[in-house]
Structure 1
Amino acid sequence: MTKFKVLGVAALALLTLARDATAQRGGGAVRTGARGAVVGGLVGGESGAATGAKIGVVTGAARSVGQEAQARAQYQATAAYQSAPRSDFNQAPPAVLGTAPPAATAPPTTTAAPAATTPRGEAVVQKNGKPVVAVTLPSDWKQALGANYISGVSADGQAYAMIATLDGVADKPAGIDKVKQGLLRYLQDIKYDDQTETKRGALVVTGTGKGKKSGVDVVFAVGVMDAGPGQIVGAAFILDSRIEDYYKETIRQICQTVRIGDDFAAKK
């Protein structure tokens, strides 16, 4: 083994140790990993679309997501990853926003799944014939669309995203309470980080927990947004803790494609 290969293996080992230590830490305000990406990226909306924030549209964004996918594949080939328990959100989607979608369906194609940097196309939830919330998921994610939700599972089954309207919720604090109740249905040993508010007014709660059925350590980031008079929308991201740092750019780009409320009128 060459000197450079030895250094590369050592660096990957150090990253793994640091990631595992960070994933188990509760409290404080998260600014790194997929949780930090949600805190920093939700909601992109029309301002994000105006700068080409759709997944894979901007060269820099495509490059960062592509590099992350390569690093993730390298990590997933290690013995440490292969021997560890893993979630399969295709079989048990954690619908913490109060809607229980069926197992996610594969993209309608007979060819190999496109690269992770390719946009799948925007999915929109409507109410009374008007768009309420929209998001663009990576094309290799398995997507489900219901009357009031959009959900997706990564190709490896270890990252889950859900966007949904929260009917019967009066305001954002009440929305956070409802989402926390949803987390309790799927997770145990929950530790919350500090609640934060994004520049566009979304309330975000992040933390760690353990799947009740799988027993796998996970991290989560959930946010609630005001999508217009009387309409609160929720967003939830749940990932295996071991791969949080290998999905942060992907999650960041998903967050920047979310559109709500006035974003739709601005794009006409």
Structure 2
Amino acid sequence: MSLPLIADPGFYAVAVPAVLLMGLAKSGFLGGFGSLAVPLMSLVVPVPQAAAIMLPLLLVMDAVGLQQLWLQRDRDLLRLLLPAGLLGTVVGTVLFGVLSAKTVAAVVGGLTLLFLAQRLLFPPKADDPPPSRRLGFVLGIASGFTSFVAHAGSPPISAYVLPLRLPPMTFAATMAVFFAAVNLSKWIPYAWLGLIDMRNMSTSLVLLPLAPVGVWLGVWLTRRIASTWFYRLAYSGMFLTGAKLLWDGLR
């Protein structure tokens, strides 16, 4: 008996680059671009289905990322962000049927662009204090929520972590641990909401070999790129993500 997977070639033409892009982002390299994966896949399937198909792939990417980056994580930062991110997934579960994916996309995209505008108009100075931990907790909740709804958790959490100017490997490792925990927490709520079915999981299985490829490539690049270019690419990814999500939400 054949698996009940998606057979449309147009879906795979979009899904393959989306999975590779997410893999690069999961390594910390091109971090902001990962939030484009579900919007790209939503060109051919509904957003909840795209999120469900991506979830098993994210767990494989998380496992590869943790194996590569675990020792470089910032433990103190994770003690702040992890409880907030997990609380955000609870909020996402409660509001999943209330807020449309387009509304969430518009809000995340708008806030991302506002953050970048603030960074450009009022660039940080060397003696500026780091963002407050209270802000970090709030943005951690926002990240968990937007990650639950559309795997678009990177922009909110990046708005807090990027200004900390961590070494690239520390940034990548901390984000890897944070999103591994958040993604693992989504399984039961996704199943409860009816998103875990044979068709979605069979389609994930077909795409599974691609999951670690982008992560391995991203880790290799992160270890070799200068900090200046790393953060330029991170901010570029946030801009493109914010613009794309805002456009999707307002269409």
Same fold (TM over 0.5): no
Greater strand proportion: 1
The structure showing larger relative contact order (alpha-carbon pairs under 8 Å, at least 6 residues apart) is 2
- What is the TM-score of this pair, normalised by structure 1? 0.32
- What TM-score do you get using the length of structure 2 for normalisation? 0.33
